[in-house]
């Protein structure tokens, strides 16, 4: 197996595990959903609750994981995954800003200070899967 194929499969496994974790532990992801998108947080663009956003995000992650597994869909899935990770960056920035706000805690500051920079290698990894 080529290293690029193995890398794409590893990314697919990570996305699949993340999709499952969204269903098993949705509250972990709540802080990443910007309040402006949440109907239960009085958001101006609130179409769904935080919980609904987290559960809904399972679908693109699972579809991206499946798409990365097959060579004929890998490039499109890798591109979509790159866009998805880039989009999630906005949520991570919002979460980090709130963590340093008046309601933030030392733990939330640590968690989001780690989560945000992780987006950079995830975006690069997803983009690199386009080559396999």
Q: What is the pLDDT of residues 44-103, one digit of tens each?
A: 788 899 999 999 999 999 999 999 999 999 999 999 999 999 999 999 999 999 999 999
User: For residue 38, which phi and psi values (nearest 5 degrees)?
Assistant: -105, 125
Average pLDDT, the chain: 93
Separation of CA 108 from chain center: 17
Once rounded to an integer, what is the mean pLDDT over residues 22-38? 92
**For residue 9, is pLDDT > 90?**
yes
Tokens of 47: 């179409």
Give the number of domains in the chain.
Answer: 1
Residue 94: which domain range? 3-131
Question: Tell me, what's the pLDDT at 1?
Answer: 75
What residue ranges in the chain does DSSP mark as E strands?
A: none
Spatial contact of 51 and 32, defined as CB atoms under 8 Å apart: no
Question: Tell me, what's the pLDDT at 45?
Answer: 80
Tokens of 56: 């809904």
């Amino acid at each position: 197996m080529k290293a690029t194929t193995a890398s794409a499969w590893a990314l697919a496994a990570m996305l699949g595990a993340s999709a499952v974790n969204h269903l098993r532990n949705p509250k972990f992801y709540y802080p990443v959903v910007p309040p402006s998108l949440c109907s239960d947080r009085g958001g101006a663009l609130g179409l769904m609750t935080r919980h609904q956003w987290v559960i809904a995000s399972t679908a693109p992650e699972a579809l991206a994981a499946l798409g990365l597994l097959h060579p004929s869909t890998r490039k499109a899935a890798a591109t979509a995954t790159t866009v998805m990770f880039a989009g999630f960056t906005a949520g991570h920035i919002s979460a980090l800003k709130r963590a340093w706000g008046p309601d933030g805690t030392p733990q939330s500051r640590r968690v989001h200070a780690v989560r945000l920079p992780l987006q950079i290698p995830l975006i690069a990894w997803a983009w690199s899967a386009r080559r396999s």
